[in-house]
Amino acid sequence: MLALVEGTDHVCYRYRIRAFEPALRRHGWTIDTVALHRNSWSRHQQLRSATDYDVVLLQRRLLPPWQLAILRRHARRLIYDIDDAVFMRDSYAAKGPYSRRRLAYFWATVYFSDAIVVGNPYLWQRTTSFVNREKVMLIPTCVDTAGYTPAQHTTSTADTRLVWIGQQSTLPCLTLAGEALREAARHAPNLELAVVSDRYPVVPGVRVAPRRWSSESEAAELARADIGMSWLPDDPWSRGKCGLKVLQYMAAGLPVVANPVGMNRTMVEHGRTGFLAETPSEWAKAIKRLSGDAALRTQMGVAARRRVCESYSVASWDEQFTGLVQRVVENKDVARLAGSLKRAAGDAICTVEPSIRERSSVGART
């Protein structure tokens, strides 16, 4: 297998492909992972190398039509994996969420793929509006629960640590959640918000404790917390999110307080593994209750970790992932479809391949 990804340290690669590599190897697969180059000519060479593999897994990227045509021409089988609403801009884009170019690139990618793997029901619904649903398989983002030590909720009345983990690109959500966090801080005066990231926000009225993220220390940082939090804007982009941070909190044995948007609503069982809170007063009530009751935090943390183990762990989905790869390679109907797609891509490539060198000379980026 050739995995074409945004970066070998990218969070989506680590949790949606690398996590399943041990299972693939047990089934006899070898996996080469390549970060797609920004330079068009270098990327052209990467895409042509697909001919050396039984199957190519393209993750998230929306390739321009001429690059997609090259990939489809050389890939024997092509699987596309998404865990975000890549067909639109994100929640914080100045131009707004809807993009005709992104949507067109997305349609072309799913059409030319032999199979598509999506991370949640919203993405499944959107993808199956473009292609036959038999091509689409839902495999949620998963965590390896063995890598998380459950938090120890003591009866101490010291500071309560609320934790948020995420990338710099999603930090604006903490500013948008500021009113809810300030209200919680007023009702729980010893509240501290630990932000595990590479940048740190200023949230007026809330004590923020910066914690440098690393793959080696993230599980330990979560285990030192009392409550995990997630806040998402209520928009189509957020509905495409697959809830990784919530899964990490739950794997670490933390109760979760989240607003009822997207996968938050599905993953957090209100009153059992945490609380779904919408208004500032609901946030304050939920956090105050958890901060003052270590036994409740323990009870909810245990239930949360059990839910991850049963429904969102690597061990519970690795057979489905490897089975999908094997079916794509072996299925004769897929082989016939792949042949027709290759021919269609071949027709398209005839018009674009002569211009590749010209494009590379100006360093076109996507």
Size of the chain in residues:
366
Q: H helices within the chain, ranges in order? A: 11-16, 21-26, 40-48, 65-74, 100-112, 121-128, 172-176, 178-187, 218-223, 236-239, 244-251, 263-267, 280-291, 294-311, 314-330, 332-352, 356-361
What the block records as the tokens of 292 is: 């003052």
Output the CA torsion sign for 124, 125, 126, 131.
positive
Question: 160-205, pLDDT tens digit by residue?
Answer: 999 999 998 899 999 999 999 999 999 988 899 999 999 999 999 9
Pick the closest to residue 47 from 59, 32, 34 (CA basis): 34
* Order of all β-strands in the sheet with 256-258: 207-212, 191-197, 160-165, 227-230, 256-258, 274-276
Write down the pLDDT at residue 12. 94
Q: Beta strand 32-35 with 2-5: parallel, antiparallel or unpaired?
A: parallel
> What is the distance between the alpha carbons of residues 255 and 302, in angstroms, rounded to a whole number?
9
> What is the distance between the alpha carbons of residues 173 and 312, in angstroms, rounded to a whole number?
24
Write down the pLDDT at residue 351. 42
- Phi and psi at 259, nearest 5°, equal -85, 150
Give the DSSP per-residue string, 37-66: PSSHHHHHHHHHGGGGSS-EEEES----HH
- Model pTM above 0.85: yes
Contacts of 21 (CB under 8 A, 6+ apart): 31
Write down the pLDDT at residue 158. 66
> What is the distance between the alpha carbons of residues 141 and 311, in angstroms, rounded to a whole number?
10
> What is the distance between the alpha carbons of residues 226 and 298, in angstroms, rounded to a whole number?
9
Q: Residue 29: exposed, middle, or buried by beta-carbon count in 10 A (0-12, 13-18, 19+)?
A: middle
Write down the pLDDT at residue 341. 52
What the block records as the tokens of 338 is: 């792949």
Question: Other CB atoms closer than 10 Å to residue 361's CB: what's the count?
Answer: 10
> What is the distance between the alpha carbons of residues 123 and 85, in angstroms, rounded to a whole number?
7
Question: 122-133, pLDDT tens digit by residue?
Answer: 999 999 999 999
Write down the pLDDT at residue 154. 82
Write down the pLDDT at residue 342. 52
The parts of the chain modelled with pLDDT lower than 50 are 335-336, 338, 345, 348-366
CA distances from 12 to 6, 42, 58, 165, 229 (A): 9, 23, 12, 15, 20
What the block records as the tokens of 238 is: 């957020």
Write down the pLDDT at residue 136. 97
Domains of the chain: 2-142+314-361 (3.40.50.2000), 145-311 (3.40.50.2000)
Pick the closest to residue 80 from 57, 112, 61 (CA basis): 57
